Amino acid sequence: MLVVDILTGGVRGGTAIMFAALGETLAERAGVVNLGTEGCMLVGALGGYAVAAETGNPWLGLLAGALAGAALGLVHAVAVVWRRADQFATGLTLMFLGLGLTSLFGAAYVGKAAPGFDPVPLPLLGDIPIAGEILFRHDPVTYLTFVVAPLLWFTLNRTKAGLLVRAAGERADVLHVHGHSADLVRTAAVTAGAALAGLGGAQLSTAYAHAWFEGMTAGRGFIAVALVIFAAWRPLWVMAGSYLFGAALAVAPALQARGHALNQFALDALPFVITLVFLAVLGRRTLRAAPEELRRVFAR
């Protein structure tokens, strides 16, 4: 069934975007925009694939992807938080760094095989008609997002660490009054967020594409940044939005598999156009939910 195919593909293809968008949510709730999410995903994709290929263990690859993303995110945090560099320009520079680094170190892994994650249908849940097919017959990394998204919601809204992050994003001076450093909190949030972006990249290479190629994230990091805005900085809305974009990505292959001769590029533009339309329709309303410190960055 076409709809089931598209929705299944939506969950499959939305997972990488979701990791990145959850990471960006964390950073932005602390008051920092990381346009470098695209670069963090790229180094995560290569790091994950390369380590999986070298060690034979895709789980180690996943860990490496997260660490690679975090390393690049830390660069962003240091430049933006401690050196007060412009957030957008630094983010774009990070993407450029990611492109160059993965081009230099990735050439050896193009076309090279590596162990990856294969679909593991969940017992019982996977047998549910339709819903089971859409949600519960995926690779283990996809299942990980089912945990990570609610966990991020819980952390942000119900824990001390989450309170510190939100305070850094809403009223940094209050944090100072209580003896905490907003700079430290932001650094931690950006780095942890970038680790999630790296994880998303690693999912892309080791579970989704089962390959590494240059520029393979193809703008997913930027979609993630936009997604966070119209999901109004809420992890569970981010989850839903990611599946929407995954579905937009899945339309083309689903139609082509049925022999429809469609111009591929019109469909390739679909996720970006949908993102822009959503921003246009929901932007005004959701921007009111923006963290206070972030609003200053956005509306200079």
Partner 1 sequence: MTATLASPVESAAPRRTAARTAARLLGALAGALAIFCVLLLAKGADPVTALGDMVASVFTAESLEQIVIKATPLILAAMAVVVPARAGLTNVGGEGQVVIGAVAGAGVGLAVPGPAALPLTLLAGAVGGALWAGVAAALRLVVGVNEAVTTLLLNYVALDVMLYLIYEPWKDPHGSGQPASRPLDLAARLPLLSGTAIHMGIVVALVAAVAVWLVLRGTSFGFRVSVVGGNPEAARRAGLPVARLILLAMLLGGALAGLAGAVHLAGVEFKLRPGLTTNIGYIAFLAAWLARHRPLPTVGAALLLAAVTVAGDSLQLDSGLPAATVNILMGLVLLAVLGWSRRARR
Q: Which residues bind partner 1 (CB under 8 A)?
A: 35, 75, 78-80, 82-86, 88-90, 92-97, 99-101, 103-105, 107, 214, 218-219, 222-223, 225-226, 229, 263-266, 268-269, 272-273, 275-276, 279-280, 283-284, 287, 298-300
* Contact in structure between 76 and 91 (CB atoms under 8 Å): yes
CB nearer partner 1, residue 160 or residue 288: 288
Q: How far apart are the C-alpha atoms of 187 and 74, rounded to whole Å?
A: 7
The smaller minimum CB distance to partner 1, of residues 18 and 75, is found at 75
Cβ of residue 256: shortest distance to partner 1, in angstroms? 14
- Toward partner 1, which CB reaches closer, 146 or 272? 272
Q: Among residues 116 and 246, whose Cβ is nearest to partner 1? A: 246
Helix residue spans in the chain (DSSP H)? 2-29, 37-55, 58-77, 87-106, 131-135, 140-158, 160-170, 172-177, 182-203, 220-230, 235-257, 264-268, 270-287, 292-298
Shortest distance (Å) from residue 226 CB to partner 1: 5
Vertex 181: Cα angle to 175 and 184 (nearest 5): 130
At its nearest, how many Å lie between partner 1 and the CB of residue 100?
3
Q: State in angstroms the smallest separation of the CB of 187 from partner 1.
A: 14
The answer to whether 212 and 45 have CB atoms below 8 angstroms apart is: yes
Please state the closest distance from residue 126 (CB atom) to partner 1, in A: 34
Measured in whole angstroms, the distance separating CA 64 from the mean position of its chain's CA atoms is: 16
Hey, CA dihedral for 218, 203, 213, 248, is it positive or negative? Answer: negative
Nearer to partner 1, 128 or 276 (CB): 276
